[in-house]
């Protein structure tokens, strides 16, 4: 069994998040969203250097504040925390729903998406279908 690098796991997690349906039963809070955004930015671009968005842009401001709070956090640490956050959400979802059923109901083009997600799930040592076939 291949051991995947932190970068490979991070990229797999990013790909999973980008491909999951934006609507559906998976609860995601604003704080979770901006935290994951900030960790992604920290891991890919480093510390926040841009100016703070104005008060009339609350989403942009929330993202900027979350990223800015990470300070000089190391890129590897940001990747580790990002991966851990995705794993936590994936594990939560696996306890609540059958991935195949949920995604086939909420994701467009799930037939094309399923093989891609299966590969990415393998990288993070998870499965779309539980070992008991459910």
Query: Could you tell me the residue range of the domain that residue 26 belongs to?
Result: 6-123
What's the pTM value of the predicted model, to 2 decimals?
0.87
* Within a domain: 116: yes
Average pLDDT over the chain reads 87
* Within a domain: 129: no
Using one digit for the tens of pLDDT, what is the confidence trace for 49-101? 999 999 999 999 999 999 999 999 999 999 999 999 999 998 988 888 877 77
pLDDT at residue 132, as a whole number: 47
Domain count, the chain: 1
pLDDT at residue 133, as a whole number: 46
* Within a domain: 1: no
pLDDT(130) > 60: no
What is the secondary structure of 60-128 as a DSSP string? HHHHHHHHHHTTT--HHHHHHHHHHHHHHHHHHHHHHS-HHHHHHHHSTTHHHHHHHHHHHHHHTT--S
CATH number at residue 27: 1.20.80.10
* Within a domain: 134: no
* Within a domain: 73: yes
* Within a domain: 133: no
Residues 4-16 have a mean pLDDT of 95
* Within a domain: 76: yes
pLDDT band at 129 (very low <50, low <70, confident <90, very high): low
* Within a domain: 75: yes
pLDDT at residue 39, as a whole number: 98
């Amino acid at each position: 069994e291949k051991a995947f690098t932190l970068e490979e796991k991070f990229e797999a997690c990013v790909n999973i998040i980008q491909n999951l349906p934006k609507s559906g039963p998976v609860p995601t809070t604003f704080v979770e969203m901006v935290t994951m955004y900030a960790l992604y930015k920290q891991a890919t671009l480093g510390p926040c250097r841009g100016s703070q968005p104005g008060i009339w842009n609350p989403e942009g401001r929330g993202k900027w504040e979350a990223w800015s709070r990470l300070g000089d956090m190391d890129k590897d640490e940001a990747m580790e925390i990002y991966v851990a956050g995705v794993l936590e959400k994936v594990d939560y979802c696996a306890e609540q729903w059958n991935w195949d059923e949920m995604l086939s109901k909420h994701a467009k083009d799930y037939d094309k998406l399923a093989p891609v997600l299966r590969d990415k799930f393998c990288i993070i040592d998870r499965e779309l279908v539980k070992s008991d076939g459910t």
